[in-house]
């Protein structure tokens, strides 16, 4: 939730910051930056989705979501956080579609996408060794894993999976955010760090990683 902040205590408190599905100011900004710099842009935002006219008046769903935009400015993914954290549960619904996976253009391979708490067991109720999101990455044979928050990568499959994660810095309502955004490769239980920002460091991280094809590279 890059522009709105994260620590909201109720649906009423976040109401002003809600954006329509992949059509609000966050997505407009992402599309503009993607076209200007010729790159992919992903960022989180608080989403609202209006129900059909037959639904009760004023009925809507709210999600902690992330949008992924192509270098041409096209929205490729609108992902809704599947496993909520305590802070989200005050206003958001779980994304019913589950974790995302899908083919990326430009030869980037298959993408698996989650948000923050998706890495952990749902509500910390199932055993950690179930690794729901990690199994999703493996089962979908993802080449690239994108997750807007800092966390640790799962065990990789036989080929390398690239894990890209970004975490905010600063303080919001007494909560301190650590930063240390990172790009790592995971292969056969081994982890290679391609790039990492320091704790509390605001900067642009650029690094080259292997592409899905033989001898190919991507930045």
Summarised one tens digit per residue, pLDDT across range 194-212 is 999 988 888 888 888 876 6
Q: CA nearest 218: which of 158, 162, 134?
A: 162
Rounded to 5°, angle at Cα 101 from 96 and 105: 135
Summarised one tens digit per residue, pLDDT across range 100-159 is 999 988 888 889 998 988 888 888 888 877 888 888 888 888 888 887 743 333 333 457
Pair of tokens at residue 109? 């391979």
Helices (H) and strands (E) in the chain, counts: 3, 14
For 48-74, b/e burial (b = at least 16 CB within 10 A) is beeeeeeeeeeeebbbbbbbbbbeebe
Q: Beta-carbon neighbour count of residue 8 at 10 Å?
A: 20
Alpha helices in the chain (DSSP H): 11-14, 25-37, 132-139
Q: Beta-carbon neighbour count of residue 40 at 10 Å?
A: 18
Domains of the chain: 1-98 (3.60.110.10), 99-219 (3.60.110.10)
Least confident residue range of 26-40, 53-67, 83-97, 190-204? 53-67
Q: CA nearest 4: which of 41, 50, 47?
A: 47
Alpha helices in 22-131 (DSSP H): 25-37
């Amino acid at each position: 939730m890059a522009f709105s902040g994260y620590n909201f205590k109720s649906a009423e408190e976040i109401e002003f910051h809600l954006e329509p599905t992949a059509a609000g100011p966050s997505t407009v900004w992402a599309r503009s930056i993607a076209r200007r710099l010729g790159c992919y842009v992903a960022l989180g935002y608080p989403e609202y989705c209006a129900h059909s006219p037959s639904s009760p008046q004023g009925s809507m769903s709210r999600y902690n979501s992330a949008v992924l935009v192509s270098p041409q400015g096209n929205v490729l993914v609108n992902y809704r956080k599947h496993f909520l954290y305590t802070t989200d549960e005050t206003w958001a619904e779980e994304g019913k579609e589950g974790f995302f996976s899908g083919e990326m253009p430009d030869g980037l391979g298959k993408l698996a996408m989650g948000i923050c708490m998706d890495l952990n067991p749902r509500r910390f109720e199932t055993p950690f060794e179930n690794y729901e999101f990690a199994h999703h990455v493996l089962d979908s044979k993802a080449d690239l894993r994108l997750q807007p928050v800092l966390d640790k990568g799962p065990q990789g499959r036989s080929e390398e999976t690239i894990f890209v994660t970004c975490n905010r810095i600063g303080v919001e309502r007494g909560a301190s955010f650590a930063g240390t955004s990172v790009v790592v490769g995971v292969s056969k239980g081994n982890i290679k760090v391609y790039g990492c920002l320091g704790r509390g460091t605001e900067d642009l991280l650029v690094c080259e990683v292997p592409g899905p094809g033989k001898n190919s590279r991507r930045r």
